């Protein structure tokens, strides 16, 4: 399908940026919100993104104003009878999203594809309130949209292959890297990233190292920023929400570190509230030590060791579990982590990295950590199977990939 006109529902953080990305590809887009002020702010965001591109000399002034004019605001569904594609980005609430999908189904022509930017909710459940579940799909963008290339493309139970290929093509037209992901909690990026971040939080509360030491170590590994800087940027409250969803789906291996919940309780949400794991007002932080002391007393777990592998092994293992479950291909799992989290490109992604370390080493390290720190490190069955068959990674010329 050649998308000639698109709509975005919800002019908040994501909606405005998605509308900007669509306009940049030359497609006229209507940015709709129920709050007049948010429509205004959304259009302002679009204008600012273009302005910054002009300032950085990435774009000519005339081109920027032409593209800015492609985005128009709306407070109702008038004009949605002409849409080829609509992307929903309202609050992360199923009832609200279902209301939107049912309204869109009534006003949009039969050809229109209805996509959702949900981070965690069931796409199939949204599709079920429409009469076009074949044309309903997940299209998960990452924040900030102008910088993040990844789009997780998530078919629901009924989504047709045609809709998938149309959305993949549309994402590519926006200059994105679309990756096809099976519908399931956390999709790929959040599912692999959260255990890594959570393990850093556990290491912190157990006194293994300071946030700064761990951030530095992961940057030395090649991550664009350390886990605590990232947690503060995402928002500890959002990270807690994602963790709870993952725990609900996968059980104890995704148990949330107490320190994250304690920080949320102390209203330390991260950068946006001026305080998270770090303080951003330049003052000395005396409260964090108190929070950590209290947790150590309650759990009795203290004095564990930190090594970058402690965090990375969980990401690798979850990637192996995803591969086992058919959530995505090995290549796409790696590409998702490189484009969606900045996993160092030269290491290729968690599965390529596992091949470099050696799958036998990954397996035995997971077993060692499992005995020491608990069953969240229990190796994915696929690892044992591969090692048993001589798939050891780079050194045996076959592992998750062949060499
Ligand atoms: N913020 C992120 O980093 C991020 C990243 C990926 C995905 N997401 C997902 O994107 C979606 C939007 O998140 P956000 O952070 O942009 O939210 P937000 O709170 O910034 O914006 C939501 C907007 O939707 C509007 N809205 C609510 N109900 C509406 C309705 N019925 N019709 C039209 N507009 C309505 C609100 O007025 C608000 O402007 C969520 O599903 C979220 O999970 C967010």
Predicted confidence (pLDDT) per residue in 207-248, tens digit: 999 999 999 999 999 999 999 999 999 999 999 999 999 999
CA dihedral 167, 173, 177, 180 (to 10 degrees): 10
Continuous segment of H or E residues that includes residue 150: strand 150-155
Query: What separation in Å is there between the alpha carbon of 99 and the centre of ligand 1?
Result: 14
Q: How far does the centroid of ligand 1 lie from the alpha carbon of residue 111, in Å?
A: 25
Kindly state the helix (H) or strand (E) to which residue 399 belongs, with its residue range.
none
Q: Is the pTM of this model over 0.85?
A: yes
Q: Which of 19, 32, 33, 90 to mutate to test the pocket of ligand 1 (most atoms within 8 A of CB)?
A: 90
The tens digit of pLDDT for each residue in 98-118 reads: 999 999 999 999 999 999 999
Tokens for 24, please give them: 């940049």
Report how far ligand 1's centroid is from the alpha carbon of 336 (Å).
22
Distance CA 78, CA 133 (A): 23
Tell me what pLDDT residue 22 has: 98
In this structure, are residues 387 and 367 in contact, taking their beta carbons and an 8 Å threshold? no
DSSP 42: H
Report CA-CA distances (Å) from 135 to 123, 259, 267.
Answer: 11, 42, 41
For 364-373, how does the pLDDT look when each residue is reduced to its tens digit (9 = 90+)? 999 999 999 9
* HSE-up of residue 242 (Cα within 13 Å, Cβ side): 23
Residue identifier of the C-alpha nearest atom 25 of ligand 1: 10
Pocket test residue of 13, 16, 95 for ligand 1, highest count of atoms within 8 A of CB: 13
Residues annotated as catalytic are: 140
Percent composition of the chain: helix, strand, coil (DSSP 3-state, to 5): 55, 10, 35
> Which stretches of the chain drop beneath a pLDDT of 50?
none
Ligand 1 centroid from CA 17, angstroms: 11
Residue whose Cα lies nearest atom 12 of ligand 1: it is 89
Ligand 1 site: residues with CB under 6 angstroms? 9-15, 32-35, 38, 89-92, 96, 99-100, 117-119, 141, 143
Distance CA 233, CA 403 (A): 37
| Ligand 1 pocket test, candidate residues 7, 14, 99, 105, most atoms within 8 A of CB | 14
pLDDT given for residue 283 in this prediction: 85
pLDDT attached to residue 120: 87
- Helix-helix angle 13-24:61-68, to 10 degrees: 120
C-alpha 190 – ligand 1 centre gap (Å): 18
Mind listing the domains of the chain with CATH numbers?
A: 6-180 (3.40.50.720), 189-299 (1.10.1040.50), 308-396 (1.10.1040.10)
C-alpha 142, offset from chain centre: 6
Nearest atom of ligand 1 to the alpha carbon of 100: 31
């Amino acid at each position: 399908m050649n998308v000639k006109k698109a709509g975005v529902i919800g002019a908040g953080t994501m909606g405005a940026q998605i509308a900007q990305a669509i306009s940049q590809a030359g497609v006229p887009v209507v940015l709709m919100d129920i709050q007049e002020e948010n429509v205004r702010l959304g259009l302002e965001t679009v204008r600012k993104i273009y302005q910054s591109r002009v300032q950085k000399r990435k774009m000519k002034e005339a081109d920027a104003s032409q593209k800015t004019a492609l985005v128009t605001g709306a407070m109702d569904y008038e004009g949605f009878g002409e849409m080829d594609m609509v992307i929903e980005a309202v609050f992360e609430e199923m009832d609200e999203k279902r209301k939107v999908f049912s309204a869109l189904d009534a006003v949009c022509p039969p050809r229109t594809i209805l996509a959702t930017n949900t981070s965690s909710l069931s796409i199939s459940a949204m599709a079920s309130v429409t009469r076009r579940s074949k044309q309903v799909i997940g299209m998960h963008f990452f924040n900030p949209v102008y910088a993040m290339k990844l789009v997780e493309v998530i078919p629901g139970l009924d989504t047709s292959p045609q809709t998938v290929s149309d959305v993949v093509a549309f994402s590519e037209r926006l200059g994105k890297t679309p990756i096809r992901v099976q519908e399931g909690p956390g999709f790929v990026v959040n599912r692999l990233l959260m255990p890594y971040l959570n393990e850093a939080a556990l290491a912190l509360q157990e006194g293994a190292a300071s946030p700064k030491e761990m951030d530095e170590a992961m940057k030395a590994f090649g991550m664009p920023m350390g886990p605590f800087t990232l947690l503060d940027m995402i928002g500890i409250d959002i990270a807690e929400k994602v963790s709870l969803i993952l725990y609900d789906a996968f059980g104890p291996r995704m148990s949330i570190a107490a320190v994250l919940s304690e920080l949320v309780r102390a209203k330390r949400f991260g950068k946006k509230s001026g305080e998270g794991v770090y303080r951003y007002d330049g003052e000395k932080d005396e409260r964090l030590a108190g929070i950590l002391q209290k947790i150590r007393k309650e759990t009795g777990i203290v004095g564990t060791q930190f090594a970058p592998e402690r965090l990375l092994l969980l990401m690798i293992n979850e990637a192996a579990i995803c591969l086992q479950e058919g959530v995505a291909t090995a290549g796409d799992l790696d590409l998702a982590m490189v484009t969606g989290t900045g996993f160092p490109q030269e290491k290729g992604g968690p599965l390529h990295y596992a091949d470099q370390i050696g799958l036998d080493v990954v397996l035995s390290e997971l077993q060692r950590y499992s005995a020491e720190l608990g069953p969240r490190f229990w190796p994915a069955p696929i690892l044992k199977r591969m090692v048993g068959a001589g798939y050891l990674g780079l050194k045996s010329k076959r592992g998750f990939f062949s060499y």
